[in-house]
Structure 1
């Protein structure tokens, strides 16, 4: 990705044909790499790491969904439901042992 400055001083980003951007398999945000077995953003990587830790320390910890267990997990709504986000992490290939 190249940044160029226009005559009015604003910066615009242009993508080159060789530029590949990966997106988080959980929420669709820009991914930073592969974590716990899946391509993930910083937010989902940290959420999964904390969830994994909490579940290992407190064996009876459980997330619950206040809705119908079908919450929309995307960049703007990923923090709304921990249960659905954690389930989506698992469904999209994140592994606790990874």
Structure 2
């Protein structure tokens, strides 16, 4: 007769504790990264504002731009409808 199987061994978990100086150094690095990111973000925002101010549109130019965008949207929608209509009624089977 075989002996009963041995119970499974439990794995011991190893926890690595960091020295306080190492933890402080990592926290300082994380803070520096956050500050650097915020600086980069702020600089990008300033550049965007400069670019916007340099090409500020007058009210008339803005209205013209908005009107042309609206016209383009209407033209695109109309073209889609016309194309859909042509596809529906282009073959003999669809007309029946």
Instruction: Name the TM-score, length of structure 1 as normaliser.
Output: 0.27
Q: Normalized per residue, which structure has more helix?
A: 2
Largest Rg, 1 or 2: 2
Q: Flag the structure with more relative contact order, 1 or 2, with Cα contacts below 8 A and sequence separation at least 6.
A: 1
